[in-house]
Chain A
Amino acid sequence: MRLPEGGRIDRSQPLRFTFDGRAYRGFAGDTLASALLANGITLFGRSFKYHRPRGLLAAGAEEPNALVELDRGPGRREPNIPATLVPLEEGLVARSQNRWPSLRADLASVAGLAAPLLPAGFYYKTFIGPGREAWHRRWEPLIRRMAGLGRAPAAPDPDHYANRFAHCEVLVVGAGPAGIAAALAAAEAGGRVILCEAGTEPGGQLLATPEAMVEGQPASDWLAARVAAIRAHPRIRLLTRTTTFHYGLQNYLCLAEALDRPDGLRERLWQVRTARVVLATGAYERPIPFAGNDRPGVMLAEAARAYAGRWAVLPGRRAVLLAAHDSGYAAAFALADRGVGLAAILDLRATPPPDLAAQAPARGIRLLAGHGVAGTRGGTRLTGVLAAPLRADGVPDATRAEAIPCDLLLMAGGWTPDIQLFSQSRGRARWDAALDAFLPGESVQDLACAGACNGSLDLAEALAEGAAAGRGEAWAPPPRRSTALPARAIAAGALGARKAFVDFQNDVTTADIALAVREGFRSIEHVKRYTTTGMATDQGKAGGLMGLAVAAAAQGVDLPELGLTTFRPPTMPVNFGTLAGRHRGPLFEPLRTAPLHGWAGARGAEFEPVGPWLRARAFPRTGESAEAAVARECRAVREAAGLLDASTLGKIEVVGPDAAEFLERCYVNALHRLQPGRCRYALLLREDGFLYDDGVIARLAPDRFHVTTTTGGAARVLHLLEDYRQTEWPDLQVWLTSTTEHWAVLAVQGPASRAVLAPLVEGIDLAALPHMGVAEGRVAGIPARLFRLSFTGELGYEVNVTAGQAEALRAALFEAGAPHGLTPYGTEAMHVLRAEKGYVIVGQDSDGTVTPDDLGLGWCIGRAKRDFIGKRGLERAGMQGPGRRQLVGLAPDGDWLPEEGAQLLPAAEARAAEGHVTSAYRSAWLGRPIALGLLAGGRGRMGERVFATRRDGTPAPLRIVPPVFHDPEGKRLHG
């Protein structure tokens, strides 16, 4: 029922919304929860396990029951959102969850009838048979359908997410009174301050208690002045609807800011590094376990007060207060002042504080000290409670119960400081017996806690503590002594109660926890995992501490003996999208394109992803198949000349007086004697002796090398080299620079390549440049490094020019090459050409279990070298010997192509593989299929037959041949 006046809602701005298809009205400033409550809705959802009807328990982040599905259109459906956290907006569409066919008549609520058969962990004891697959085939699908809460979104999310890094001197988490005081004090002291607040506006508790007086002013006036000062302050950044969900090392915190902007910017992730942190995260009121404490209408006292004070909604007409803590009286009286009839106060304590005890009769309210609740009445709405005096053991005596009609039961179970972030910061919680709470203890980072999260429930104390924390000063609280009934005592009185819920969402009762303890689950982590208490979407904010208390009571130990379960991040659920940010679609991982990419696309190239790059796989002509294109490109290289954009090769410039020494220590090759102007095919191993990468090392000058890596290995190799340079040999005078993007590499390969290049080359004696030679000069007028290298088996060159000049060089090359039939070719032709020649691709013909000798590349290793990376690993017995798998050529009998990855068998019916096929192509040039493989003792088995597995189950024969199919003498290479 909405009150005619008051509250922080804007009555001039009515908003329309729907819940389960029915239209309702609320006001700007409402939450979905307050607006529904104002419309008389008290049934909000169904519980996880028993599908019990549930209403609002709380008014904030700890709400476990009132979870709804929001639907803002296609792709904008979200499950499991607490209605208490949804700011009302025009046209909002919300639905209840976990019910069928309707919230009021949920058929699955029959699960409640079977509840005696379904205690905590029942599924571990049952569904065990018969039949091996009984669980998976029969029971699990049933359980899965019953479990879960809302529905996952059905369409891709059209919204986007932003990311921002920020630095400040003081980050204040929580803009309640303590946080506000801290932020203002910190800013006055001169630092940059970020004040973040999860709610829609600053104020915290004051928003709910307009009747309070703060520093001699009405709360709303005090708040308005402070908020104005904060907004006007040049050094304070106020972030509302911003949840601090992660507290990492070195005061690195992550914040999620809800934006919901019309342009689709939904949330922003803030990553803040701050000198100091002030945590002013407040406290949560504890629910009280008693029989039937989950009936809609049973609510936290402070939450009810907030609905009335902040949103001008009365959550009921006739209330009963169940108090274990003094704070409940103030809440109940505030509600009474707004028109709620207060039928009775049941105080679990035998002797409530006299001043409070005196107020009740003065207001004409019955006070029943030493009373609890033995049960509740009503269906989907509370109609009454059974008030019962407590026996000596704290259990309500149902035989002496009195029914009191009411539609609202207020629970005031005391307060649990929110120490989630403090705990995430690696601070150690300490049990404060006087306050009956875990409080922040010793902290390991520069942080301070202020206000209710530090046990300072009194407003004046919170303000003083906040201001001191903001200034970075110490503040000692006055001696405090709670008069509340300790949680452990409350729990003890509810151990035997029926359906006394501790974790409302997961339907965990005191009996479930007692059962877990009975079954030997003593560690609180075990109790949590066995019963699932504290593992619902509120992560134990509502019932976590009471769960501990029940477990302690069941074991007969004190609460601190049991300890706390770990607070795991995030403090509140965070959208996947917020953490993923802008990294989606093409930005998911930067896609790199080669300098001639645009031209290749225009030429109709087919592309394929290779490591971080997209490379042209082939250049089919109109109407030409990819296979035909590859065959044509191969023929062009063998007969005339072809051009490949090889720019994706990794390149590292190694410079310095010790450059040669450094490379000598890293690579297996003997490089000391490499003369300037010459290149060497070089291998890099891991420490375990296995091949890591290959490339060409060119010596440009005594102190300068141009080193290439595989396309995928560029970053990895540089990291490895830098690792050794910086950690193993910091004494060497050598510097490494990645030049992968600097140089475009255009490979001109084929018998006509020299003729193509000759008219364009200046300053280099092309005819005199030997195979594996390098020279600097100009090509087509462009400064270039010209390598004579071949990955095809033909005469070939690789022209390196700066990437910006690649297009000009390409144009010049094709112009000069046209008469010679210069043809662009792609990576697939490159693969075929190199395989015909028996050149390996590291990562395809080798994997991380292959040595140089396995590939027939033992000749690369400088025999006289004292050391290189992997030398010792290579010397192990298992790394040598004739039984290792060695590279061989494989010639299929007949015209079939083995599959890359096929296993090699000594006989068709054999089961133990001797190796596998690493590469297989149809060679148009040779007119037959060819393959490479790794085969046990392969080099000694030339001419033998092996069988390759096929997916149809029939292995087929191949002849073992040398891996070089084309020009084994190398005449064309040196021609």
Chain B
Amino acid sequence: MTRFSWAALARGALRGHRAWTPQWRSPDRPQPDYDAVIVGGGGHGLATAYYLAKEYRLGRIAVLEKGWIGGGNTGRNTTIIRSNYLFPESAALYDHAVQLWEGLSAELNYNVMFSPRGVLMLAHSHHDVQSGLRHVHANRLAGVDNEWLTPAEAKAFCPPLDIATPRWPVFGAALQRRGGVARHDAVAWGYARAASALGVDIIEGCEVTGITRDAAGVTGLETSKGPVRARRIGVVAAGSTSLVMAMAGLRMPLESFPLQALVSEPVKPVFPCVVMSNTVHAYISQSDKGELVIGAGTDQYPSYSQAGGVQILGHTLEAICELFPIFRRMRMLRAWGGIVDVTPDRSPIIGLTPVPGLFVNCGWGTGGFKATPGSGHVFAATIARGEPHPIAAPFSLDRFTTGQLIDEAAAAAVAH
């Protein structure tokens, strides 16, 4: 692997950039036998493979991707990164990820453009304030930074914000300064490049069509590019997880919904941070290219279609225009959808399954991107050791039968 740097770039320039080589190897087909196979070449799957190779020195690892790497939710999200979750279990998981994000560009020798520019979460009612403060107290106790801002302080942190809208004035805001955004595609490519350099085979256009097993557990996979033997299989297939797991005879507690996002045309820097409002449903930041990146909501019904209703975009833009009235004349350049897999408590599942050798990492719902490095890291440990990493342990598949749920969304619940 050629190390990336200005010097390398300058050397490349002298040779007309003709000497660069593929950033990751792309074998046409898998080898017949691996120590571990990861199903799904998104950020989580590639990170898993990378840490398996890097930290656990597993010899022969493959990542099988049906389409092109990073083409699922890794390349479709709004790139928000934060760890100010309420429950200690969640905060530990997401903060593990944030700590990895902070050194990721250097770790991978690939600029993933992690930009901790601060994530502001708005409160629009007394109830929101109660919930926001509960998060602040819980996070500080867990060692996760989170501070409470008055409306005026929120306005100072994010000047385009209108804190006195007629319908939902801002009552306050929680700010996590370590939160921010990153360049989503670069995360997939960076992990792929680093994993490939450690010998991981990344096979694109390779669809898993079956999982084979014997009495002792999994024995391998059937794929569109031939059979593969492996005693350890990690399924990290986001919206398609249910389909893959069904091949092993497992029914997953997942529902899949379309989730949409959009960007505006690029403009000069105008928006300095990330702002989230759960009450009016608006998530926004500005990319380095200058586009406003805006997250919309999920459709109300399950679907595998990567296209949601246009009215969902409309609702989101209503909220954006209300909170940031100067953006009403901005223009939507591009909108797209992804399929999010949602568990009953809307927290992920990371761990073992009833089938020995078969591991699963799924259910990240609308918030998986931020966890990418941490998810891959603890999942790799889980696969390598055959037992859950301590941070992953609470996110077991069996919690839905024991009732040990981790329901962040419900904890922020609304009623009265």
Chain A interface residues toward B at CB < 8 A: 48, 75-80, 116-117, 119, 122-129, 132-133, 135-136, 140-141, 143-145, 147-157, 246, 248, 254, 511, 515, 518-523, 525-526, 529-530, 532, 535, 537, 539, 566, 568-570, 573-577, 579-581, 583-586, 588-589, 591, 608-611, 688-690, 692-693, 710-713, 841-844, 846-849, 873, 876-879, 899-903, 905, 911-913, 916, 949, 951
Contact = CB atoms under 8 A, between A and B. Distances in A.
A712 B407 CA distance: 20
B407 A901 contact: no
Contacts of A156: 162, 325-326, 328
Given A128-B4, A584-B318, A878 B415 contact: no
B130 A576 contact: no
Contact of B407 (A535, A842, A849): A849
Interface in B124-171: 124-127, 130-138, 140-143, 148, 162, 165-168
Interface in B301-341: 309-310, 313-314, 317-322, 325-336
B166 A586 contact: yes
A125 B402 contact: no
25 contacts: A79-B265, A79-B267, A79-B330, A80-B331, A116-B13, A125-B5, A126-B111, A129-B106, A133-B116, A144-B286, A145-B269, A151-B270, A254-B310, A530-B189, A576-B330, A579-B313, A580-B314, A588-B322, A608-B126, A610-B125, A849-B405, A877-B402, A900-B134, A911-B141, A911-B143
B411 A848 contact: yes
B81 to A, nearest CB: 12
Contacts of A519: 20-23
A842 B416 contact: yes
A340 B331 CA distance: 38
B295 interface: no
Nearest to A156: B325
Of B17, B20, B335, the most chain A CB neighbours within 10 A belong to B17
Contact of A580 (B190, B270, B321): B321
Contacts of A132: 102-103, 106
Contacts of A523: 67-68, 71, 204
Tell me the interface secondary structure of chain A in the complex. loop
B165 to A, nearest CB: 7
B130 A901 contact: yes
B134 to A, nearest CB: 3
B411 A520 contact: no
Q: Please give me the 7 A-B residue pairs with the lowest Cβ-Cβ distance, nearest first.
A: A848-B410, A843-B415, A520-B22, A876-B403, A878-B403, A148-B290, A901-B134
Interface residues of B, number: 117
A713 B265 contact: no
A575 B328 contact: yes
A394 to B, nearest CB: 19
B88 interface: yes
Interface in B21-66: 21-26
Contacts of B411: 847-849
A712 B329 contact: no
Contacts of A144: 269, 286, 288, 290
Of A589, A608, A905, the most chain B CB neighbours within 10 A belong to A589
Contacts of B309: 248
Contacts of A566: 336
Of A152, A574, A848, A876, the most chain B CB neighbours within 10 A belong to A152
B414 A611 contact: yes
Interface in B370-389: none
Given A149-B266, A537-B333, A126 B310 contact: no
A425 B130 CA distance: 45
B413 interface: yes
B111 A876 contact: no
Contacts of A568: 334-336
Nearest to A587: B167
Contacts of A586: 166-167
Contacts of A532: 289
Contact of A589 (B141, B167, B286): B167
Given A78-B329, A124-B110, A580-B318, A525 B68 contact: yes
A248 B310 CA distance: 8
B85 interface: no
Nearest to B402: A878
Contacts of A591: 167
B416 A712 contact: yes
B138 A903 contact: yes
B111 A128 contact: yes
A887 B271 CA distance: 43
Nearest to A144: B269
A525 B71 contact: yes
A152 B148 contact: no
Contacts of A609: 124-125, 167-168
Contact of A151 (B115, B116, B267): B267
A536 to B, nearest CB: 8
Contacts of B319: 588
B167 A570 contact: no
A125 B24 CA distance: 14
A690 B410 contact: yes
Given A128-B106, A916-B138, A576 B329 contact: yes
A849 B131 CA distance: 14
A844 B125 CA distance: 12
B185 interface: yes
B125 A608 contact: yes
Of B69, B71, B317, B411, the most chain A CB neighbours within 10 A belong to B317
B113 interface: yes
Of A609, A692, A713, A905, the most chain B CB neighbours within 10 A belong to A609
B268 A140 contact: no
B278 interface: no
A951 B136 contact: yes
Contacts of A879: 403
B331 A573 contact: yes
B124 A119 contact: no
B344 interface: yes
Contacts of B13: 116-117, 119
A588 B318 contact: yes
Interface string B179-210: 01001011001100000000000001000000
A577 B321 contact: yes
A575 B329 contact: yes
B125 A689 contact: no
B105 A585 contact: no
Contacts of A525: 68, 71, 75
A148 B20 contact: no
Given A80-B267, A151-B268, A584-B318, A511 B190 contact: no
Of B13, B71, B345, the most chain A CB neighbours within 10 A belong to B13
Contacts of B336: 566, 568
B410 A148 contact: no
Nearest to B315: A583
Contact of A842 (B9, B280, B415): B415
Given A48-B266, A116-B13, A148-B267, A903 B326 contact: no
A579 B317 contact: yes
A140 B269 CA distance: 11
A901 B116 CA distance: 26
A915 to B, nearest CB: 11
Contacts of B290: 144, 147-149
Contact of B20 (A126, A140, A518): A518
Nearest to A253: B310
Contact of B111 (A125, A152, A573, A848): A125
Contacts of A78: 329
A135 B143 CA distance: 25
A80 B115 contact: no
Contact of A152 (B18, B130, B270, B333): B270
Contacts of B330: 79, 152-153, 575-576
Contact of A124 (B4, B322, B334, B399): B4
A610 B21 contact: no
A809 to B, nearest CB: 24
